[in-house]
Amino acid sequence: MDTLLAYRYELYDRFENISSTYSFWNLQKELVKALLKCEEELIKGNEAEKDEWLYHQARLYSISEAMVWSVLETFTIRQLGKFESGRTALLPQKDTIMGIIEKFEPLANEKIFILADTTRCITTGDLIEVKATDQIHIYECKTSTPMEIEEMVRGRVGRQFSKNFWLQEYLERGYGTLYRADLITRTIEVDVTGYQEHFSLLDQLIEECMRNKSGNSSVLAEPGLVYAAIKYEEDPKEVDPELITGLYDFKEPFWTGLSGLVEEPRESIFHMPPLAFPISLKSKKLLMEVGVIILCYLDHEVLKDKFRIKGFEYTTSKEGFPQLSKGGDPIQFHPRFMNEIMLGFQPIEKVVNQMTALYDSTLNGLTDEEQKYINERPSSLKDFVNYICENYELTSEDDNSPGLISIGSKKLKQKTSIDLKD
């Protein structure tokens, strides 16, 4: 289906040339149309074309997710993707989506909006307004709107309201107990500025791969970390990882590839899609269309040495999760930290410093303010309603003052007498 490939190339170009809030919005509208077409074709059940349409669909989602990564910071994206959710089919809600587009079209010249259902990395809300890279407004768009708080916290609307409300409070405070969570979630800021990322190596790596008769190339990014590029027609299974790791004298090699950043539904919650990489558009297209495959090799022995120098022991759990300890029981980390090195092109030292700082912070316990919050957080529906009524007010969506979340035609905003950041 050469026409689909040509169409995707046009979309890649449009992403690269986004120059205004409206061109951002306009590309999303095109992606809605394209995703609806995908679903229509998949419903037809033509087995001969099914894989091609699934391949096309994954890349459409990845374009939309690259748009998210271009306007929001990593931390905010992770919070918006916290809630486990299967991808929502667009066809059954086509009229609703078109209604959302029509409603927000007049505002798209001035504001950045993200249509959540065109992504796999945003699992709450219908529409996200981007006020800053770390500041958002969540819209749940409804054909009928509960007019009172008591109505808004019940049933399906109540579940959506609670998810978004506690998420926004957490983003405002820097700590909080999220919807249906047992433990408090705390934001821990770690200064990891001043490190040189390895994205700058990719263009040359890919160019050499395409030029070399062998169909591959590799580069030692730093001791213990190698990136290799392989032309798609060269089967990566036939490229023995031991050839790479042996060349660079790796003692305990571990490797993975970039293809999951496009294909896997939840990867874009944690890692930047290739189209958003700070590299040339030519290289981005090759990665998106699997013209080149990037493999990443990490020597765990080097990693262990770096942790050891800082007084930590690095191990992995039975499930493969990274763990740190200082002689006692280990603390387990999300695998995204290792993938930050391998898929996010971050230097080893940066991630090591991040993990050790987070480890030390977890030993500090709760602050008095956090403990007070836990004690006072409403535990019943009645208390929840009272808490909202005491600290917030419902106003019209036409109210231009800052709000927290919107449900239908109503906006919830803080009363001016409190400041959650104090």
Cα separation, 308 vs 315, in Å, equals 11
Cα separation, 97 vs 93, in Å, equals 6
pLDDT confidence of residue 214:
86
pLDDT confidence of residue 24:
98
Predicted TM-score (pTM) of this structure: 0.92
Classified as helix, coil or strand, 176 is strand
Nearest to 348 by CA among 214, 212, 195, 161: 195
Cα separation, 143 vs 120, in Å, equals 24
Cα separation, 226 vs 345, in Å, equals 10
pLDDT confidence of residue 417:
47
Show the CA angle centred on residue 176, arms to residues 170 and 180, nearest 5°: 105
Cα separation, 21 vs 18, in Å, equals 8
Nearest to 178 by CA among 164, 190, 186, 167: 167
What strands lie across the sheet with 322-325, from one edge to the other?
313-316, 322-325, 331-332
What the block records as the tokens of 147 is 């007019």
Measured in residues, the chain has a length of: 422
Question: What residues are paired with 112 via a beta bridge?
Answer: 130
Averaged pLDDT in 10-residue chunks for the chain of 422 residues: 92 98 98 97 91 96 98 95 79 94 95 96 94 94 83 88 92 88 83 89 97 91 95 63 78 89 91 97 96 94 96 94 93 94 96 94 84 89 92 85 85 68 42
pLDDT confidence of residue 420:
43
- CA–CA distance from 140 to each of 104, 128, 157, 337, 369 (Å)? 13, 9, 9, 32, 31
DSSP 213: T
- CA–CA distance from 48 to each of 3, 233, 342 (Å)? 16, 22, 35
Cα separation, 156 vs 401, in Å, equals 27
